[in-house]
Amino acid sequence: MKQILFLSVVTVGLHAVARGEGFGHLTTGGTGGQIITIDGAQTNAASQFKTLVETVNTPYIVQIQGTLSLEPVGGKVSLQANKTLRGIGQAPTLIGQIGFKNGVSNVIIERLNITNPEDWGEGDGISIKEKITNVIVTRCTIYDCADGLVDITRESDNVTVSWCRFYFTTPGGGNNRVSLIGAGDSQTSDYGKLHITFHHNWFSTHCWQRIPSVRFGKVHIYNNFYDCPGNLYGVRSRIKAECRIENNYFRQINDPYYVYINNEPPADYGKIAAAGNVFEDCTGQIHPGTDTVFEPPYEYALDPTEHIPVIVQYGAGADGCEGYPPHWFFGPYGDFNLNGFVDQADLRTLAGYWLAEGDIFNADFNGDGLVNNIEFALLADNWYRLSTHVAPPSAPQNLWALGQNGQVSLFWSANAEPNVRGYFVYRTTTSGSNYTLLNESPLESTGYTDTAVENGTLYYYVVQAVAVDGNESKMSVQACAEPAAGASSVILQENATGFCGVDGIVDLGKHAGFTGPGFCDTTNTAGTGITWKVNIAQKGSYLLRWRYANASADRPAALLTSGTVIVPSISFPGSGAWDNWNQVSVGLSLDAGIKDLRLEALSREGLANIDYLRISGPAVEAVWCD
């Protein structure tokens, strides 16, 4: 049975599911041709399949049932023009690579499970390369391929990838690649081609990178669900690429989308225009999305972003369901208008279904073809139980910690919701796990002093808001501090208050020994850096100390504040290995005021890996970055 991970109550109305087929919308595949079914269990099934799909100038609709392995024909086929490949029956699966004859056009691939773990052909699941045009890949589940799941390169054009599920069954280290758009920086003939649309796809478990990675192309990415925590990066816009990224839902994604630079001149940098995206517990880089890019030359309808996890999980993949999910997939049965309550307006809606003889899908909860006392009882029960429902508050914002002698002081911003009763504070010595509650009853204030600490120990904190009805928010971002004798100090970790970004990635575990959620790894280019924001509440002398690792020669850096160099060069000498962590300190006098601090590489190797920045002095505060 198809698994659906339910979204909590949604607060906007239903829209029609977007069915626009994007840049590939003119594709007809094998329409009008003979429909031929290949049973994977039949003798010579692979040979028959290869003969049909590689037949020149003859349209075919080739249906696959069962499991069809391409091993007897070398592990791959090369499709000719005017073909439709369609899975039918229970779990239709093709093992091997689907490729194309150079220069062909007009192919549809739908309702298939596709996998290529044995590295047949180029190792891809689907390889669209060498001037292939007008292709639609829709409602497929593509998984566990030795190289890319769907690669589109070498002057191919007008391709739509829609309603597909992508996943890997195990973590793949440097592999687990989803989709490469454009073969390489030197493949300049791709420029002006590679018009691609990705919509309503589910990028699922262990998808690691290239989701997609785009060179030269114009790629429209909308209404997709990114659900692959632990990934390396999401969308990467590279040399002369243009990416339009709209109404996608990113859940626990590192680097949801950003521009990747590889020594090309600024005029050739990739571009991103973005709007309407949702980021749930994401880390790393998110491009501001303010570039000017192409306008799609086709009509399309955007589904509300907050609906995307439910819509896409319901409809994506070879077993995806057609149509819009019934309303109870988004919340309780009876909340037809998705306003978070079951009330009189919903009762009127149910009454309309009760009398109807037509489409009652959105009200027929038990699938018996009737709307009757069963559905009425469900609505009535939810009306009673949810009549005083209060939504959970949002997670507290702007948490930061000040390490002092024998204590840690915490500060955060008050929640705006009027129903917030107070706050719970949690502590751990293991970043991200094993939290212990520090206060038995909710705090009414937005601060807390923890005196049950030991000097020299690194502590991590999160805060949770609780509503008057007991509903609790998600955890805040994590803050950390190390109490010590002497000057108080603030530690600025990745993806926390005071950390503004890195020209590269926040690495979550490539090398051991870091603190917090990971460490900053900049691109190997001079001028790349890391930016933090602090408030110097009192003019005075401050000590800035970076914890770093550097297995190579010295990687010097400059320190800037608000764009002005204040320390021309700071040495970060080799530490012997990437998991050997040392410290470098700089003392300087700072005037009062909010400071944008930037550590910027002076050599082409970029910065050393930076674990955190600690600032000690008379009065320093972490500031949330806009």
β-sheet bridge partners, residue 545: 585, 614
- Give the chain's domains with CATH numbers: 22-226+300-315 (2.160.20.10), 330-385 (1.10.1330), 400-486 (2.60.40.10), 499-622 (2.60.120.260)
Can you tell me whether residue 375 is helix, strand or coil? helix
Determine the pLDDT at residue 9: 29
Q: Which two three-digit tokens encode residue 505? A: 């990635």
Instruction: Average the pLDDT over each of 425-434, 500-509, 563-572 and give the range with the smallest value.
Output: 500-509
pLDDT digits (tens, 9 = 90+) for 526-540: 999 999 999 999 999
Report yes or no: 252 and 280 within 8 Å, Cβ to Cβ.
Answer: yes
Helix-, strand-, coil-residue percentages of the chain, each rounded to 5? 10, 35, 55
Determine the pLDDT at residue 173: 63
Contacts 24+ apart (CB under 8 A), 456-460: 456/482, 456/483, 456/484, 457/429, 457/482, 457/483, 458/429, 458/482, 458/491, 458/515, 459/401, 459/408, 459/427, 459/428, 459/429, 459/483, 460/427, 460/428, 460/429, 460/430, 460/431, 460/432, 460/516
**Could you check whether the bond before residue 117 is cis, i.e. omega within 30 degrees of 0?**
no
Report yes or no: 338 and 386 within 8 Å, Cβ to Cβ.
Answer: no
pLDDT digits (tens, 9 = 90+) for 278-287: 999 999 999 9
Residue 419 host element (H or E): none
Which DSSP symbol is given to 311? H
The helix/strand count (H/E) of the chain reads as: 4, 46
Determine the pLDDT at residue 472: 87
**Confidence category of residue 21, pLDDT binned at 50, 70, 90:** confident
Q: What are the Cα distances from residue 72, in Å, to 43, 50, 86, 92, 117? A: 11, 10, 21, 18, 16
For tokens 């989701």, name the residue: 211
**Confidence category of residue 266, pLDDT binned at 50, 70, 90:** very high
Q: Which two three-digit tokens encode residue 175? A: 């592999």
Looking at residues 271-294, what average pLDDT do you find? 95
State yes or no: pLDDT of 10 exceeds 90. no
Which region, left, alpha or beta, applies to residue 465 given φ > 0 means left and ψ of -120 to 50 means alpha? beta
Determine the pLDDT at residue 174: 66
Looking at residues 89-118, what average pLDDT do you find? 97
**Confidence category of residue 358, pLDDT binned at 50, 70, 90:** confident
Looking at residues 505-525, what average pLDDT do you find? 90
Report yes or no: 285 and 505 within 8 Å, Cβ to Cβ.
Answer: yes
Determine the pLDDT at residue 386: 62
> Residue 567 half-sphere exposure, CB side, CA atoms within 13 Å?
20
How many of the other CB atoms lie within 10 Å of CB of 576? 11
pLDDT digits (tens, 9 = 90+) for 24-78: 999 999 999 999 999 999 999 999 999 999 999 899 999 999 999 999 999 999 9
Query: Measured between alpha carbons, how far is 308 from 5 in angstroms, rounded to an integer?
Result: 11
Give percent of the chain with pLDDT exceeding 70. 95
Closest CA to 352 of 344, 341, 360: 360
Determine the pLDDT at residue 328: 87
Beta strands in 293-434 (DSSP E): 400-404, 407-411, 420-428
Residue 456 phi, psi (nearest 5): 90, 0
Query: Measured between alpha carbons, how far is 437 from 268 in angstroms, rounded to an integer?
Result: 51
Closest CA to 52 of 91, 103, 86, 24: 86
For tokens 């910690």, name the residue: 401
Determine the pLDDT at residue 19: 40
CA 138 to chain centre: 21
β-sheet bridge partners, residue 37: 63
pLDDT digits (tens, 9 = 90+) for 293-348: 999 999 999 999 999 999 999 999 999 999 889 998 888 899 898 877 787 888 88
Determine the pLDDT at residue 143: 97
pLDDT digits (tens, 9 = 90+) for 168-193: 999 976 689 999 999 999 999 999 99
pLDDT digits (tens, 9 = 90+) for 382-427: 876 665 445 688 999 999 999 999 999 999 999 988 778 899 999 9
Query: Measured between alpha carbons, how far is 525 from 510 in angstroms, rounded to an integer?
Result: 20
Q: What are the Cα distances from residue 256, in Å, to 218, 227, 592, 610? A: 18, 11, 35, 21
Report yes or no: 606 and 524 within 8 Å, Cβ to Cβ.
Answer: yes
Return the C-alpha torsion angle 105, 106, 110, 113, nearest 10. Answer: -10
Q: Which two three-digit tokens encode residue 570? A: 């700071």
State yes or no: pLDDT of 11 exceeds 60. no
Q: Give Rg (Cα) of the chain.
A: 28
Report yes or no: 231 and 207 within 8 Å, Cβ to Cβ.
Answer: yes
Determine the pLDDT at residue 278: 95
Determine the pLDDT at residue 508: 77
Query: Measured between alpha carbons, how far is 285 from 266 in angstroms, rounded to an integer?
Result: 19
Return the C-alpha torsion angle 390, 394, 396, 397, nearest 10. Answer: -150
Query: Measured between alpha carbons, how far is 253 from 492 in angstroms, rounded to an integer?
Result: 21
Q: Which two three-digit tokens encode residue 277? A: 């995206």
Give percent of the chain with pLDDT exceeding 90. 81
